[in-house]
Structure 1
């Protein structure tokens, strides 16, 4: 007899998930590419970082940072680690990690100003005003990327990342899930019915939302468990999303 394995719920492709993490712009650490994870003293927290659609990363560092000094004498092999944090407070808040490895190079003043204006168009940040006044811009040109999240670990080429698109709800996800937990705990309680019976006694929290479904984090005494609740179809607009959330809750008249 052939054993049939449970069908895994659909999820965004790795490149799409990587692009989504990059667009969210979570906490970042810059480190040497070869041995960066072993020497914490060489890790640098950028004053500001921005991953462009191409995959290149603009990084603002203090003028006197050793990395700025080193890169003026030649490009450096570096890695940027981006953390994707859950929108609600969890005991294990990191949902995923994206590592961008490539070559760090200096950026001339004119190019740096143009890049800063481009960043400000989509992500206004007062720290951009410190460019040239205590902060210097350097650029990380990607050679490869690695994504690690609950769906697995995946290697991506710079070209694959460049052509991917982020999830359509990534910029609204944080606000929606925080609102879901703070104002609609009854809705979360209704979602518990979709969980395996052995997990229904844990503390259920909204973890993430994408066009394929909703993920819940179940915090149990013995550990945490992530469960994906799939939509009946992939959605791209808020009205489509509202329909799918009503279906999961089992209440056709519920408003998001």
Structure 2
């Protein structure tokens, strides 16, 4: 099984990454009118060139939007995607959206919904920052594994270290030189990413599934297929 297929074939696009991060996020950093606030926030409607952001009714962000002019309040929204498994440098990616916030609409549980007009979207991770086309974001969908990823990775790391070590057999020998610890870092419809720690630094390596899954119920079969192939290799991790 090759781990060197093209990126387009074996990992999410930038638009898919953004949609998945926003799908599961429950907090965001909001800077509006020069004031910054970390607020409990979730995307409350389908993403497009505009979307609805749900925030507490008593938040500074909601107060700023109350007095929004017709063109809205300029704002920068930021989300941080953290590894659910403790690792060195847990930040996997950051999403930054330049936007305009509009007057709040009532919502349940002491919250309000703000219409967010999207002006620019940037995704940072792995030492690079990319601008993401808004039309691609509208067409993209969150990864089907996104909602369950944290639970599945935590379970794998805590209860199945032997599986992690077996998966490492799928990597080339040069990847494993000097490795002191192997941790599952990310999981999506395209495959699993392992964090390889060394005495100095680390490296993240993706192991792709044979084909992308379309339903989270298929995940168990994909993992077992990788494990079966790894055991056939009979090479120590």
Shared topology, TM-score over 0.5? yes
The answer for the alignment partner of 1:72 in structure 2 is 67
Moved more, 173-182 or 141-150: 141-150
The answer for the alignment partner of 2:235 in structure 1 is none
Q: Is the 8 A contact 1:20 1:167 kept in 2?
A: yes
Q: Is 1:91 equivalent to 2:67 in the alignment?
A: no
Structure 2 CA distance, aligned partners of 1:181 and 1:26?
A: 23
CA distances 1:96-132 after superposition (whole Å, capped 9, x unpaired)? 111121111212xxxx23xx3xxxxxxxxxxx5223x
Superposition RMSD in Å = 2.8
Pair 23,180 (structure 1): closer, same or farther in 2 beyond 3 Å: same
Pair 73,237 (structure 1): closer, same or farther in 2 beyond 3 Å: closer
CA distances 1:83-102 after superposition (whole Å, capped 9, x unpaired)? 11112112211111111211
Unaligned runs of 5+ in 1: 1-5, 37-41, 117-127
Pair 69,167 (structure 1): closer, same or farther in 2 beyond 3 Å: closer
The answer for the alignment partner of 1:43 in structure 2 is 36
Structure 2 CA distance, aligned partners of 1:73 and 1:208?
A: 39
Structure 1 residue 188: deviation in Å? Answer: 0.5
- 5 Å-filtered alignment, 1:188-227, equals 188-200=164-176, 201-227=179-205
Q: Secondary structure of the residue that 2:167 maps to in structure 1?
A: helix
Q: Is 1:235 equivalent to 2:213 in the alignment?
A: yes
TM normalised by structure 2 equals: 0.80
Unaligned runs of 5+ in 2: 232-237
The answer for the alignment partner of 1:125 in structure 2 is none
Q: Secondary structure of the residue that 1:100 maps to in structure 2?
A: strand
